[in-house]
Amino acid sequence: MRYQDRAVLVTGGGSGIGRQVCRMAAAEGARVAVGDLDQARAEAVAAEIREAGGEAQGFAIDVTDPASVTAFVEGAETTLGRLDLLVNSAGIREIVSVLDLSPEEWQRVIAVNLTGTFLPSQAFARRLIAAGRTGQIVNLASTLGIMAAPNRAAYVASKHGVVGLTKEMALELGEKGIRVNAVAPGVIRTPMTERYFQDPEMSATIRGIHAMNRWGEPADIARAILFLGAEENGFMTGSVLTVDGGWTTG
């Protein structure tokens, strides 16, 4: 129960990795603010947690919109009574060659993945500092924040940006007791990747890129996120923790 009486905010909490973080944080005693562009999904995850005896509230949030982000952080603080951990899990990706990538698609992926990590993190850190409190931020980078893969220029650039932002915010906020870390997952079975999982050939190829010869599960990543965000883990900041079944060892 590392998260007893702690308040955890999750963007992209309505699906995949974010949803699993919400559920596992609640199981460890956290009160959870589930934020998602898809309000129905956010409400559904919050309802699921309440049915299991936990405390959670769903919020509609667009991480690319500063006003929406501020409303989420302030609303969560009012509802949960405090702020402790922010997990930035909202994300999208494109699958198109760099030669065919349109400016609109580039901007959308950068807006959601990179600006959409910066805005909630800034709003959260400002509120913590105003309240005289310490706290943690965990960002979703990717193995593609460390290396490249074909047809993912905007995604790869955005996740490299998330790694840089993680280090920068850790540097600037360390003295204030705000730790900022990131996880770099391998390929995880979520709605984002389900299409590949359902294609037997693709599924086997993806399994094979991981040294452990399996797909990752949302719980593999949620466990690492909750480790990074735990209060006891007080000297770890600016780190990018690979949780990729050994993909980047090769």
Q: Active-site positions?
A: 155
When binding is defined by CB under 6 A, the residue of 27, 129, 192, 236 that contacts ligand NAD is 192
**Residue 132 CB, nearest approach to ligand NAD (Å):** 29
The interface with ligand NAD within residues 75-104 (CB under 6 A) comprises 89-92
**Residue 35 CB, nearest approach to ligand NAD (Å):** 6
Residue 137 near residue 124 (C-beta atoms within 8 A)? yes
Residue 67 near residue 42 (C-beta atoms within 8 A)? no
Structure tokens at 99: 């030669």
The interface with ligand NAD within residues 195-224 (CB under 6 A) comprises none
Q: With binding defined as CB under 6 A, does residue 191 bind ligand NAD?
A: yes
Q: CB under 6 A: which stretch of 30-38, 164-172, 197-205, 229-237 binds ligand NAD?
A: 30-38
Q: With binding defined as CB under 6 A, does residue 14 bind ligand NAD?
A: yes
State the sign of the Cα–Cα–Cα–Cα dihedral 186, 16, 90, 98: positive
The interface with ligand NAD within residues 109-148 (CB under 6 A) comprises 112, 116, 140, 142
CA dist 181 → 28, 138, 226, 238, 246 (Å): 20, 5, 11, 5, 20
Q: Can you tell me the distance from the alpha carbon of 10 to that of 67, in angstroms, rounded to the nearest whole number?
A: 17
Residue 161: which of 123, 107, 125, 113 has the closest Cα?
Answer: 113
Q: Please give the single-letter amino acid code of residue 184.
A: A
Q: CB under 6 A: which stretch of 6-14, 50-58, 77-85, 163-171 binds ligand NAD?
A: 6-14
Number of residues that bind ligand NAD (CB under 6 A): 30
The interface with ligand NAD within residues 41-80 (CB under 6 A) comprises 41, 61-64
Q: CB under 6 A: which stretch of 11-19, 21-29, 99-107, 123-131 binds ligand NAD?
A: 11-19
Q: With binding defined as CB under 6 A, does residue 245 bind ligand NAD?
A: no
Residue 2 near residue 26 (C-beta atoms within 8 A)? no
Q: Please give the single-letter amino acid code of residue 18.
A: G
Closer to ligand NAD by Cβ: residue 11 or 136 = 11
Helix, strand, coil percentages in the chain from 3-state DSSP, rounded to 5: 50, 15, 35
When binding is defined by CB under 6 A, the residue of 136, 166, 193, 237 that contacts ligand NAD is 193
**Residue 234 CB, nearest approach to ligand NAD (Å):** 25
**Residue 117 CB, nearest approach to ligand NAD (Å):** 8
| Counts for the chain of helices (H) and strands (E), in that order | 9, 7
Q: Can you tell me the distance from the alpha carbon of 26 to that of 153, in angstroms, rounded to the nearest whole number?
A: 35
Using CB under 6 A, list all residues that contact ligand NAD.
Answer: 11-12, 14-18, 36-38, 41, 61-64, 89-92, 112, 116, 140, 142, 185, 187-188, 190-193
